[in-house]
Chain A
């Protein structure tokens, strides 16, 4: 029996196990929307396409599965670009379906026509314009395969309207074989042996773990490696949660807003084992002085990441999980009775000494509410068992520093692109995946206004996300830079003209709370977390609080400004 392109698309999604997609309709995808009610795929209607792509991304980060987004041609498609670039920068698997004008009109400046394949070429892992109905099913199959395999990423499929209407026999290919795409997964045995030998001879090893560990599902292997071999672990923003955040060996984040212990450890280690991290400039600071005494081992599934920013002594191209598993096996086989605890004992005490000397801290205060205090309270109340999304800015850094992530996929944050407006819609995606979990968006008063319209999506889909606004009335992170490096020229960063967030929540049918006294923080949070609908908690925090430690952009990691 022949099916239309729209029916074929939905069949493909069912075969991929897609249970939900996020999107917004339009003339160029109306045929697909016509079929959705007849399929098992649920569609969540957002209020802006940026919300759809972030929600699909948040769903993907929280579940580890591919997120799906469906939007119309032209403006619908271009509204997703920020979200696509966000997912691309953090290697998140999402598949984006965009409508396109009928093939006969392509290139004619037709109504709502835009070359979205051209526009998104530099920010997708790959993209397609389906030109023949016979290619539709195999293209969708490839899109999902590409999105999740190798170094994951967003893949866009542009669907001309006439293709959606044409008839064809449905056949979903069983597997994908592409002569040009064969992602390396298994680590090279010789390199693994080399690393184990380096570990054995090292005196001061350090693991620098990144988002790749989470994407590959390698957290158990990482935890084994750190804990069994007694190696301190530091993490990128994207890697938080891959190693238990409450373990004594965990040093917290490194880099610009990293801990003193982490940055000192990088500076002093003699072996740096970088796993699924890409030596981002926010992490390395001045590259020439990064890990100056270390032999650097770099595990990454993407060969382009290796040798890109720093020169690496031992490259290991592999999926992080398989590489860590291979390291575990090799250490057990060749050094089963080696006394790791003793071997690195001095180093671990030294590192823990740094941590004790300069822990993450802030000058707490009884007269005002410190944003760090709020994040600490969120951690205490949830006991670390929530999914935390963040916006971008100081709120993001405090959420990274003062909440201990014990499990992978529990921090959803725009690390690579730093997209304000990401957190709330991403939280909605995660909440849809885990209806019974507490999902919290730690927000700034600036960022939350970028996708606030998704409050309606939250309310009508019963997605009870809790937005905690650390309201400082500033675009705080930019203000911090202006304060420290631009002689306090607070140009365009004061945001004290703002909506009444409590009323705004109520206008949407959500609940709103405001906190102005420190003594009310904890009780209000507890109350808000119990409300069974979306909530905004507007917390008026100390306006000019800064994020510390801070390594000024381009300085060495040891040049930290402390509290």
Chain B
């Protein structure tokens, strides 16, 4: 079992999201995260889906996605060199005594503080899985009260280097 990031271009028509999501649930495939938004091309949306499964399952998922009538293109980015990003908002406990330390971490990780109150901060962070994981780790001991994540967005790099 491994995580695969799939980039799926679809016709932006009613019901398309449930067609895609239904394909996963109907076949017992697990979606880890799913992100959708319009692209520059008129009427086409891009979904970034992170799914879990062994190679054979992921191959089936990709084929089944291609088989859906509104699907324009499917790429499995896992085999390619790609840029992966996720945006996360974290609401963290921040009493006076801890605030300086939290801000130092925010600074090191190049995140942004987007809301401040007496004893809380909301932090915006963008990055790949590793960076976000590390930040969450560090902030956990202060107490994370709430978290909102976009799920991955990903794009194939222009220069593909043979690995």
Q: Which of A125, A302, A304, A307 contacts B69 (CB 8 A)?
A: A125
A181 in contact with B69 given A118-B18, A122-B22, A307-B56 (CB within 8 Å): yes
Question: Is A294 in the interface zone, CB < 8 Å from B?
Answer: no
A121 in contact with B69 given A304-B63, A304-B64, A307-B56 (CB within 8 Å): no
Q: Is the CB of B67 within 8 A of A303?
A: yes
Q: How far is the CA of A303 from the CA of B71 in the complex (A)?
A: 14
Q: Is the CB of B69 within 8 A of A146?
A: yes
Q: Is the CB of A180 within 8 A of B67?
A: no
Which of B11, B26, B67, B71 has the most A CB atoms < 10 Å from its CB? B67
Q: Is the CB of B26 within 8 A of A180?
A: no
Q: Which of A118, A129, A304, A307 contacts B67 (CB 8 A)?
A: A304
Q: Is the CB of A304 within 8 A of B60?
A: yes
Q: How far is the CA of A146 from the CA of B70 in the complex (A)?
A: 12
Chain B residues, Cβ within 8 Å of A129: 14-15
Question: Is B54 in the interface zone, CB < 8 Å from A?
Answer: no
Q: Is the CB of B63 within 8 A of A303?
A: yes
Chain A residues, Cβ within 8 Å of B64: 304
Question: Is A126 in the interface zone, CB < 8 Å from B?
Answer: yes
Q: How far is the CB of B16 from chain A (nearest CB, A)?
A: 10
Type the 1/0 row for A108-133, where 1 means its CB is closer than 8 Å to any CB of B. Answer: 00000000011001100110010100
Type the 1/0 row for A295-313, where 1 means its CB is closer than 8 Å to any CB of B. Answer: 0000000111001100000
Q: Is the CB of A178 within 8 A of B69?
A: yes
Question: Is B19 in the interface zone, CB < 8 Å from A?
Answer: yes
Question: Is A38 in the interface zone, CB < 8 Å from B?
Answer: no
Q: How far is the CA of A131 from the CA of B15 in the complex (A)?
A: 13
Chain A residues, Cβ within 8 Å of B85: none
Return the chain B residue nearest A155 by Cβ: B69
Question: Is A179 in the interface zone, CB < 8 Å from B?
Answer: yes
Question: Is B59 in the interface zone, CB < 8 Å from A?
Answer: yes
Return the chain A residue nearest B25 by Cβ: A122
Question: Is B66 in the interface zone, CB < 8 Å from A?
Answer: yes
Binding site of B, secondary structure by majority: helix, strand, loop or mixed? helix
Q: How far is the CA of A179 from the CA of B64 in the complex (A)?
A: 17
Chain A residues, Cβ within 8 Å of B15: 117-118, 121, 129
Q: How far is the CA of A129 from the CA of B15 in the complex (A)?
A: 10
Type the 1/0 row for B1-38, where 1 means its CB is closer than 8 Å to any CB of A. Answer: 00000000011001100110010001000000000000
A180 in contact with B60 given A118-B18, A121-B19, A122-B26 (CB within 8 Å): no
Return the chain A residue nearest B65 by Cβ: A304
Q: How far is the CA of A307 from the CA of B57 in the complex (A)?
A: 10
Type the 1/0 row for A146-160, where 1 means its CB is closer than 8 Å to any CB of B. Answer: 100000000000000
Question: Is B72 in the interface zone, CB < 8 Å from A?
Answer: yes
Q: How far is the CA of A302 from the CA of B66 in the complex (A)?
A: 10
Q: How far is the CA of A181 from the CA of B67 in the complex (A)?
A: 8
Q: Is the CB of B18 within 8 A of A121?
A: yes
Type the 1/0 row for A267-308, where 1 means its CB is closer than 8 Å to any CB of B. Answer: 000000000000000000000000000000000001110011
Chain A residues, Cβ within 8 Å of B67: 302-304
Q: Which of B11, B56, B59 contacts A180 (CB 8 A)?
A: B11
Chain A residues, Cβ within 8 Å of B60: 304, 307-308
Q: How far is the CA of A179 from the CA of B22 in the complex (A)?
A: 22
Q: Is the CB of A126 within 8 A of B14?
A: no
Q: How far is the CB of B102 from chain A (nearest CB, A)?
A: 45
Which of B10, B22, B63, B64 has the most A CB atoms < 10 Å from its CB? B63
Q: How far is the CA of A250 from the CA of B64 in the complex (A)?
A: 34
Chain A residues, Cβ within 8 Å of B72: 179-180
Return the chain A residue nearest B72 by Cβ: A180
Q: How far is the CB of A155 from chain B (nearest CB, A)?
A: 9
Instruction: Beyond A303-B66, A307-B56, list 11 extra A-B contacts (CB 8 Å).
Output: A118-B18, A122-B22, A122-B26, A129-B15, A178-B69, A179-B72, A180-B11, A181-B69, A302-B67, A303-B67, A308-B60
What are 27 A-B interface contacts by the 8 Å CB criterion? A117-B15, A118-B15, A118-B18, A121-B18, A121-B19, A121-B22, A122-B22, A122-B26, A125-B69, A126-B69, A129-B14, A131-B14, A178-B69, A179-B11, A179-B72, A180-B10, A180-B69, A180-B70, A180-B71, A180-B72, A303-B63, A303-B66, A304-B60, A304-B67, A307-B56, A307-B59, A308-B60
Residues of chain A having any CB pair with chain B under 8 Å: 117-118, 121-122, 125-126, 129, 131, 146, 178-181, 302-304, 307-308
